[in-house]
Amino acid sequence: MGMSRPSRPVLLTTAATAGALVLTALVPGSATADPTPRPVTREGSPLGADRAAKAPEAAAERALGSALSPGLIDDRGRGYPRERKLDAPPENPADKSIKLGLTPYHGIAPKLNELQRLGDRVSVEIAGRSAGGHPLYLVTVTAPESARETARQERMRERIENAPSAAAKDKAIKASYKTPVLINNNIHGNEWEGTDAALKLIERLARAKDKKSRSLLAHNRLYFNITANPDGRIAGTRANANGFDLNRDFITASQPEARAIREIAVAKQPAVMIDLHGYVNGTLIEPTTPPHGENYEYDLFLKNSYANALGMEAAVNGRGYTREKDGVKPAVIPFRDQEEGWDDWPPIFTPQYLPFHGAVATHTIEFPMQVNNAVYESQPVAELRRRAAINVDIAGAAMRASVHFAERRRTSLIADQIEVFRRGATGAKQVPVSAETVPGVPGIGPEDVYTTNFPRAYVIPAGSSPGGRGQRSAPAAARLVDHLLANDVRVERAAHRFRLGGKTYPKGSYVVDMHQPKRGLANVMLADGRDISGKVSTMYDISGWSLGRLWGASVDSVKRGDLDGLRTREVRAAARVGYVAPRGDLRLRLDDPREIAAVNHLLAEGVSVRGGRDGSAIVPSSARRAAVVAARKYDVAFDATKAKGGAALHRTRVAAAVTPGELFALREMNFDVVPVSTAVLNSGFDWKGTDALLVSAGLDHGGLNAAAKAGLERFLTRGGGLVGRGAAGAAMNTGAKLLAVQPVEGNGDANGVVRVANAGGTVTGGAPDHSFVYSPMWFTGLGSGVRVEQRYGTGNPLVSGHWRALEDGGGGPASAAGRASVVSGAARGADVVLFGTEPLFRDHPKGVFPQVGRALLKVGR
């Protein structure tokens, strides 16, 4: 793994049949059209528990010479430095960093060009582009390497991951492998100063002539992501141009900036990583408080992260800013100094994601002096620049301390990285942290012990098998497989029907063998997770996120089983699922966002589509040519049907008062969306052409002026529809006097994966039996004509996450159990659907998106 993967092959072919253009039916896994790409290694090998004993590492090593990763750009055959003249963007006097005396984005490229000219140590790559289209600069600082030496370094990097037992004994790796260190900056756009500290350190290293600096660069590669969020740096916002907090996106990777960092993690495989943020006074330096991510090799992580934290603490405090006049407090290490509230549980943050790619020391650093938000406007420029200068200096101290930590401990750091991968590849048990297993770290207690029991494998079924387990959604399964592969998780595909864990699976089913180097990442994505409500009183962010439950694909966890004899091929991309039946009317299931996008595409093309009783879409045979285009574009299947369907579906133009993540998900499903708010409606919104109003945030019925209320009233009473989510959506329903329901708000701090029971029909027919909540809500007092589309599961509906009752005993999962989570009905001429769940949260719970998509198609006039 870690090798470049070709783009997914197009398997839809066209042929003229009876005068119509149709797709040749390619059934995944069939003998005549098996779309599985040829394997990279282990062709047809048995996938089994004793595979390590059969020398899989030798097979992996044989592939290394011909399958080197080209990295972010195709630089194979090149050594270092790799100089690249960067185009400078036009000057932008509105760049918010200028006021702070910091480097504006348009000044970064000229500065990097200058640094590359200083000598032979600085290289620049374009790691990608931001949502707003700005280049992302990755700088490498290291001693010069010939092309041959660079190739040798890459072979060693590959061997560390893919042949860890052999790598542990490799004297060449111990003697000459360069330790990779990653310094990530400015992921929150209005936390600026890491960028400037990085530029200063790069220049210092480029100019250094002393023996220590030469030795440092001879033994390490230092990678600097100069600004991970140029959109936010320019605009002075935490989020990128799409409105996303990038440091919440790593499990989903919906944004290009997060995907660029993911590729850096895979291609460069850092052992040490720090992420520069602001603003916490005193300077906050991870490691964190409990709960600790249960999928880490936490003993190795804590040993190294705590040691580096002590060095950074000394360096930061040593800058001399803790005098009263400076306003800087001494640094804080949460693991040592706090009981809870700053945890490393979810893999959505950069330092909590990188350990799954082998980083054994990762940190969030929060420099102390606030300069953003209200302070940016209220403080004099001189004071802002004083604070920013202190932050730059403190960030630089943390960077230098981490670099020197990597240099001092480079042999043991790489040994621990190898051990992470070895445990995964061999299926070794985790080592619980204790004073004995992690010497030198004070205060370790039972509250710090978090481990998990890894299953033997995960199976993502294909198709269906008599008496076995079928796949709920082929498009969802393909998306999930591609996502795993993009995260460097190994996925294999069965060459025949097989039985595992007491179930029978069809040929073509995907198998994730958990004896692999990055088992922690595979498990953190696919496992249910854990209900940690009783472990700690509060969490920093989300506590449940399972892709196995929320992305819409059927995924089985196989606790034990014999994988020997199971013949598989390692895949580089999921098989295409696009298909159009050669004759008859067509049925398109609407169980996946791609299918919603496809039906919206057809409606935009003027195709006549009717809704099925189960929420599917019925397309006439006369539209087969259009279906071919949609199947190819969205990789979805149109099956033959004799159903005629019910009401005609229409292209739904949505006025949406929603969060940025929800807006992104709606556009992903190909809806025509116009953002609205209280202010937009009060300024005289033209409802003409609008079919549905979606409300979850930013629109308050009580805040509307008389004209806006009258316009909204006309829209609703003349057949416009309302879809509401959460407190804002329920309040809009109440304010407009529509459905007779009583919304009940649960604990506002609660979030996680929940069990649900679906009623079937056009909104939740065939929907997954799990959903996601964030500040959960349910509905009681249901009046006449209100239909319950979905209920929370009975008992304790929380599968994973953190959901406690309030002090009065209410608001918890027991209060929500069995209650209505999604309701619908018609009132005063308007069709209404209300959600108490969070179906579009941060563009994450993909399998739940179609419930909103179907609701919008249902209520649209």
Residues designated as active site: 419
As a dihedral over the C-alpha atoms of residue 535, residue 516, residue 350, residue 217, rounded to 10 degrees, the angle is 130
334: exposed, middle or buried (C-beta count within 10 Å: 0-12, 13-18, 19+)? buried
Gap between the Cα atoms of 5 and 40, Å rounded: 10
Three-state secondary structure readout of 73-88: CCCCCCCECCCCCCCC
Residue 214, H or E segment: helix 211-219
* Alpha carbon distances (Å) from 517 to 414, 464, 520: 14, 30, 8
What is the 8-class DSSP label of residue 60? H
Structure tokens at 303: 């040993």
Three-state secondary structure readout of 370-384: CCCHHHHHHCCHHHH
Q: How many H helices and E strands in the chain?
A: 26, 35
Closest alpha carbon to 623 in 586, 569, 676, 596: 586
Residues 420 and 298: beta-carbon distance below 8 Å: no
Tell me the pairing of strands 556-558 and 510-513: unpaired
Closest alpha carbon to 293 in 413, 452, 480: 452
Residues 846 and 253: beta-carbon distance below 8 Å: no
Peptide bond preceding 505: is omega within 30 degrees of 0, i.e. cis?
no
Alpha helices in 327-473 (DSSP H): 334-337, 350-353, 373-378, 381-408, 410-426
> Residues 438-461, buried b or exposed e (16+ Cβ, 10 A)?
beebeebeeebbbbbebbbbbbbb
* Alpha carbon distances (Å) from 431 to 288, 326, 528, 587, 682: 19, 44, 22, 51, 60
Structure tokens at 324: 């009263």
Say how many C-beta atoms besides its own lie within 10 A of residue 744's C-beta.
Answer: 19
Half-sphere exposure of 134 (CA within 13 A, CB side): 27
Contacts of 500 (CB under 8 A, 6+ apart): 457, 459, 558, 561, 563, 566
Closest alpha carbon to 122 in 5, 2, 202, 40: 202
Contacts of 442 (CB under 8 A, 6+ apart): 336
Dihedral sign for Cα 424, 429, 430, 435, please.
negative
Alpha helices in 427-490 (DSSP H): 474-486
Residues 61 and 252: beta-carbon distance below 8 Å: no
593-604 and 660-668 are packed helices; what angle lies between their axes, rounded to 10 degrees?
60
Structure tokens at 521: 């990442």
Q: Tokens 């481990």 identify what position? A: 451
Query: Biggest alpha carbon distance in the chain?
Result: 86
Cα-flanking dihedrals φ and ψ of residue 407, to 5°?
-65, -45
Alpha helices in 698-821 (DSSP H): 706-717, 726-735, 813-816
Gap between the Cα atoms of 404 and 208, Å rounded: 15
The 3-state DSSP class for residue 727 equals helix
